Amino acid sequence: MGRKGKEGILQSMDSRADFLSDESHRIRFVYIPKHTSWLNQIECWFSILVRRLLKRITVRSTEELSQKILNFIDYFDQHFAKPFVLKFKGFKDHK
């Protein structure tokens, strides 16, 4: 981003306008239903990752963290992985 009035995007109003007018910098909001089955699966997976790995480790770099997470995923897939069973059947019919 730079420093206000000195460098980067924040250098001047022209540099800000150029940045904001570039189509590749657009923000796209995507709204999803709260009860999507894939979202529940992702929440379950992150819960497992946090409880079994992240709460107990100390790392010195992001590379070390990345490697530990990848090692955990491989180990989990080989020894514990099984399909998630979704129990949400949907809402009762509204009339």
Its pTM stands at 0.52
User: For 24, what's the count of Cα atoms within 13 Å in the CB-facing half-sphere?
Assistant: 2
Residue 49 confidence (pLDDT): 96
Residue 86 confidence (pLDDT): 67
pLDDT in tens, 26-82: 888 887 776 667 777 888 889 999 999 999 899 999 999 999 999 999 999 999 988
Residue 69 confidence (pLDDT): 97
- Residues 60, 51: Cα–Cα separation, whole Å: 20
- Residues 91, 94: Cα–Cα separation, whole Å: 8
The domains of the chain are located at: 8-79
Does 74 or 25 have the greater pLDDT score? 74
pLDDT of 95 over the 60 cut: no
- Residues 54, 67: Cα–Cα separation, whole Å: 12
